[in-house]
Structure 1
Amino acid sequence: MDIVTSPRIEAMVFDAMFTLLLAKGSRRKMMAKIFLKHLRRIAKRLGIKFRPSKGFARRLMRITKRVREATPPTQDYGRDWSRVNRRIAAEMLGVSEELVLMEEGLAIHQEVLSDPDHYEVPRNIREMLKLAKKLGFRLAIASNQNEADLLPMLAKHKIGDFFEKVLCSDKLGICKPDPDFFKRAYAEIGVASESVCYIGNSIRNDLSAAWIGSRVVLIDYDGGLKINETGGGLYLVKVVRNIEELCDWLGEQAKSPIKGPAKASDAAVSRRAVNE
């Protein structure tokens, strides 16, 4: 494995959803609750009977993962999720996709990402952000979320004031995982990509920050993240399990540049590492 030395990190740029803002209870339970409500509405419109089977939440997450991986992203994040949710709903109801309206898929997406009451912040998140600022890191957010939805969430959970910039895909005009999303965000912040550490939770969306020279930290809250070494251009990615580990890592980076993987949780990954 190649050892990579990068410049000292100047800015910490965060993903928002499921990184700074976590589903209350669990993501699976939140998604199951929202989908169940919308599936009942769709079934009623179609005049069909719908009763959730045993293991509904587990089946929903399994179908979601498969459908999402089979749906290539475009530059319209809301429409992408509308298509995904439409296909999920059709499969869960046992009907053809054409019977589920695009606006019904979009309604699911909007409820998942726009209701602050579905979310909470991770334990010690404010302490971590205070530490990062104390250590001299600039803080910003770059998210696929819409600005009109994200800003109220940050305000409700009292973390918005920590960030000098909150950059959303609807304003940037481009979405993750396109590497140009990160280029535009960093240009807005006024920082070179090599001096940024991007902190997220998704290989699918967040890993491409490494393709333009940024360090990437993925927070694996659920312990299910899988990163493969698949060959090609390798990039270093740090995986941490929680905010406490991120705090420890921040302290290390404030003292010295990153010098390759020091622990088993460091992984070399490539552009083809697309597991989520």
Structure 2
Amino acid sequence: MIKAVIFDLDGTLLNRDESVKMFIQKQFDRLIKLLGHIPKEKYVRRFMELDNRGYVWKDRVYQQLVSEFEITEITWEELLQDYINQFKNNCISFPNLISMLEELRTNNLALGLITNGKGQFQMDNIKALGIRDYFETILVSEWEGIKKPDPQIFKRALDQLNVSPNESIFVGDHPDNDIKAAQNVGMKGIWKKDFQWNNVEADFIVDDLGELPLIIKNLRQQITKFC
């Protein structure tokens, strides 16, 4: 019997690409007196390139931007602090996020979340999406001292939810850090499709979060039938 569903955050529940794009455009507009010598589209495009979909922390991104664009009116540290303070105000979820979580919770499934990243920053984003209270456990890599794909962070979440791996599903967008890592500890992996990858070996694949409740319902019925 499936008893728990654990989620990744960025690229799975949070539409990070669109959130970053909105943030960086607004940052430029807010700071135009300090950045006005740079074409806006060039600033936005270069930030997105250097950010590498979140896999490069922003201290390095802003140091590079300050150097490349010869920014002298504001420091990279101040730009970074603006990012830390303001990103949460630009969080965009994928469609059907709240209704999906509501339905899973109504079906008596324990819900958890595991995300790599900075602790308070990620918690601010989770709260901004309005989803904090849906999860019985939330593990952020900085606070845990381990990160995906380390199996220990998955096992820690399972222990906190008091479920075994074969009673659990992990939903994520990264083929290795999410799907393969979860499968390696004995969980089923559902891949939230991302244009960056093809031919991902997942137990199930979804385009939309709204597809999850039915998949999980059918899976629970199949497992019960064969028990």
State the TM bucket, normalised to the shorter chain.
0.7 to 0.9
* 1:255 aligned residue: 221
Q: How does 1:81-100 map to 2 (within 5 A)?
A: 81-82=57-58, 84-86=60-62, 88-89=64-65, 92-93=68-69
Going from structure 1 to structure 2, the CA distance change for 1:116 and 1:82 (only over 3 Å counts) comes to closer
Deviation at 1:224, TM superposition (A): 1.2
Residue 136 in 1 paired to residue 108 in 2? yes
Q: Are the aligned partners of 2:5 and 2:169 in contact in 1 as well (CA < 8 Å)?
A: yes
Query: What is the aligned residue count?
Result: 220
* 1:72 aligned residue: none
Unaligned runs of 5+ in 2: none
Deviation at 1:179, TM superposition (A): 2.9
Going from structure 1 to structure 2, the CA distance change for 1:224 and 1:128 (only over 3 Å counts) comes to same
Going from structure 1 to structure 2, the CA distance change for 1:239 and 1:59 (only over 3 Å counts) comes to farther
Find the aligned partners of 1:180 and 1:91 in 2 and give their Cα distance: 39
Q: How does 1:9-158 map to 2 (within 5 A)?
A: 9-22=2-15, 26-27=18-19, 29-33=21-25, 36=28, 50-52=37-39, 57-65=44-52, 68=55, 81-82=57-58, 84-86=60-62, 88-89=64-65, 92-93=68-69, 103=77, 106-107=80-81, 110-111=84-85, 115-158=87-130
Going from structure 1 to structure 2, the CA distance change for 1:106 and 1:173 (only over 3 Å counts) comes to farther
Q: Are the aligned partners of 2:3 and 2:109 in contact in 1 as well (CA < 8 Å)?
A: yes
Q: Are the aligned partners of 2:50 and 2:61 in contact in 1 as well (CA < 8 Å)?
A: no
Q: Deviations over 1:218-265 (max 9, x none)?
A: 323xx5141346xxxxx53432111222233222222124xxxxxxxx
Pairing partner for 1:243 from 196, 209, 214: 209
What is the alpha-carbon root mean square deviation over aligned residues? Answer: 3.8
Structure with the larger helix share: 2
Q: Deviations over 1:136-183 (max 9, x none)?
A: 321111222444344454445432222212222233221223333222
Question: Which SS does the other structure have where 1:256 is aligned?
Answer: helix
Q: Taking structure 1 as the reference length, what is the TM-score of the superposition?
A: 0.62
Question: Which SS does the other structure have where 2:205 is aligned?
Answer: strand
Paired letter, 1:107 = Q
Paired letter, 2:197 = K
Paired letter, 1:203 = P
Q: Deviations over 1:23-42 (max 9, x none)?
A: 5x92452253266479979x
Find the aligned partners of 1:150 and 1:174 in 2 and give their Cα distance: 15
Unaligned runs of 5+ in 1: 1-7, 69-79, 230-234, 258-276
Q: Percent of pairs identical after alignment?
A: 23
Deviation at 1:11, TM superposition (A): 1.0
Find the aligned partners of 2:101 and 2:53 in 1 and give their Cα distance: 35
Find the aligned partners of 1:86 and 1:249 in 2 and give their Cα distance: 42
Q: Are the aligned partners of 2:51 and 2:57 in contact in 1 as well (CA < 8 Å)?
A: no
Q: Are the aligned partners of 2:93 and 2:129 in contact in 1 as well (CA < 8 Å)?
A: yes
Going from structure 1 to structure 2, the CA distance change for 1:153 and 1:125 (only over 3 Å counts) comes to same
Question: Which SS does the other structure have where 1:133 is aligned?
Answer: helix
Find the aligned partners of 1:136 and 1:171 in 2 and give their Cα distance: 28
Going from structure 1 to structure 2, the CA distance change for 1:108 and 1:219 (only over 3 Å counts) comes to farther
